[in-house]
Structure 1
Amino acid sequence: MTGTVPRNPEGRSVRRIGMRLATVVAALAVTTASGGLLSASPASAHAQLLGSDPRADSTVTTPLDEITLTFNEPVRGNFSTIVVTGPDGTRHGAGQPRTIDKQVHLPVEPVRSGGYRVAYRVVSADGHPIQGQFRFTVTLPPALEPTAAPAAPAASDGPSASPAAGAANGDTGGGAGLRQVGAVGLGVALVGAGFLLVRRRRGTSTR
């Protein structure tokens, strides 16, 4: 008589629990991976500033004529804005930003020693605006400091004196001319009076 092997219900329960746990773990892994990809996609699609010339928080010891920003992807050139502000609040941009692929260039006027702030705003290829700012310091030796433009002479220095002198000269010349005309007129009048007096005397003597 052959005996039957009794089944072990506890073993089957353990296997079922193990399979369920494996299914749950796999589902969690898939969900986590999908969420990570979805969250990373928008960030990777936007432009990011990789570097600049001058670098942020750097010290420039040579004359500066341009600011350059470098991004991780091309940006739309017609929407790029860069503002360079000096220590006295003066803006030092010398034209419009020029975009070449991943770089944006801004020519600047000669800068003096001091602290400067660069504020920028660009639009990435997907239309997302990116903005930020950084600072740098300029320290130039006296020989390389830009010289101030000579002050223009005041408008009242030369021109106002000349017309006044001309007017005075004109008055003097006019007075002399009037005196000459008066003298000539007086001489003519005296000659005429003498001529009339002579004629009268002649007329009287003939009578």
Structure 2
Amino acid sequence: MDLTTRESAITAVPGHTGNARKLRLAVILGSNREGRFGPVVSDWFLSHAAEHQDFTTTFIDLADTDLSAPLSSRPGPAVRAELDKVTPALAAADAFVVLTPEYNHSFPAAIKALIDWHFVEWQAKPVGFVSYGGMSGGLRAVEQLRQIFAEMHAVTVRDTVSFHNAHAHFDAEGRHRDPAECDAAARTMLDRLAWWGLALREAKSARPYAG
């Protein structure tokens, strides 16, 4: 598959738009490794998210950001410019999906940097996961991320999508060779996210969350 270069970290995904009632879903591609497989998986997932009636979707590609600078409460202009690529989309989102590979039994450093540079943006919002890797399918990375998002006052949904030995399951055009099971898993996870996203949005409207 041709991995096209995106001009910015945030891309509006065509699909269900223009309806204020819809939940705003931010899909985060966490790998910034050269030659990464992530865009194949993210393109597959984004096509499913675009079809879901409850969401309008924004795509955040961490390969287009550089948040590797030391954490600071007063970031300089260069870091602020990088944060400006992603922070508004995180703040506006009602729900998140983190798409992560597994590197050395964990998740990429780019995801941790994104999490650590933010706090209130994650609070009282649901997070789902799409993972890929070898035999584990990235599930060890997901379990570690659950602990971190709990510290951010976020709610992670139980249902995930994982691709074990991911390269073998997609053809040269990025199509899954046997999509029935993973398509069903994506629908279930999106349904769970929609339930939590709506419930938490309504709860915060009635009573602001004091994190």
Fold equivalence (TM over 0.5): no
Structure 1 length normalisation: TM-score? 0.20
- Higher relative contact order structure (alpha carbons within 8 Å, sequence separation ≥ 6): 2
Larger Rg: 1
Q: Determine which structure has the larger strand proportion and give its number.
A: 1
